[in-house]
Amino acid sequence: MPQRTDVTTGTSEPTGPEPILLELVDEDGTTIGTAEKLSAHQAPGRLHRAFSVFLFDGEGRLLLQQRAAGKYHSPGVWSNTCCGHPYPEEPPFVAAVRRTAEELGTAPSLLREAGTVRYNHPDPVSGLVEQEFNHLFVGLTGAPVAPDPEEVGATALVTAEELARRHAADPFSAWFMTVLDAARPTIRVVTGGAGGW
């Protein structure tokens, strides 16, 4: 844990966890600085780098995750396999693999870049804003998942038809359809059309 030194006594004491920093970018995705995670999401939001992962099983079913109820942003909603933010100077591909392992306890057996998408999605419940330059990745699941309950409330494997029914009935993240639609061309390549994508 980080320490703070009292200059008058020379003693050290814990300062608490280091703030999580995100990489701020311009409209072209060029890094222009950093910002603390929560402040970057407070309205009107600051454009920052993010990633979204879509993993499929051998039958072409998409692995969805339901975000844990305790998360401060978009709790309890369904979303793509994994999403998050690279650390400053961390390559998005590395961050995508890292967070998939941290959240779901598994690693992709294949992961392919699927382009980028830029969006601005306010979360109507929390009032936070997803102002993101998002790097997309599509791949195949490597092993059974073992989700971290602090991050993931539930998982589901769905075909495109099953997803349409679930999306009509259940709450999903504000960004889900934007990133899914942007990733579809690569999804069709990776799945070979299985699962109805």
Q: What is the pLDDT of residues 18-46, one digit of tens each?
A: 888 999 999 999 999 999 999 999 999 99
Q: Output the pLDDT for position 124.
A: 79
Can you tell me the mean pLDDT for 111-117? 98
Known binding residue 130? Answer is: yes
pLDDT class of 143 with cuts at 50, 70, 90: confident
CA distance 54 to 197: 12
Q: Is the pLDDT of residue 7 over 50?
A: no
Q: Is the pLDDT of residue 151 over 80?
A: yes
Q: Output the pLDDT for position 196.
A: 95
Query: Which of 183, 155, 189, 196 minimizes the C-alpha distance to 52?
Result: 183
Query: Which of 45, 48, 114, 36 minimizes the C-alpha distance to 81?
Result: 114
Known binding residue 135? Answer is: no
Can you identify the CATH homologous superfamily of domain 19-191? Nucleoside Triphosphate Pyrophosphohydrolase (3.90.79.10)
Instruction: Please give the model's pTM, rounded to 2 decimal places.
Output: 0.88
Which residue numbers are catalytic?
A: 83, 132
Q: Output the pLDDT for position 73.
A: 73
CA distance 61 to 25: 33
Can you tell me the mean pLDDT for 151-172? 97
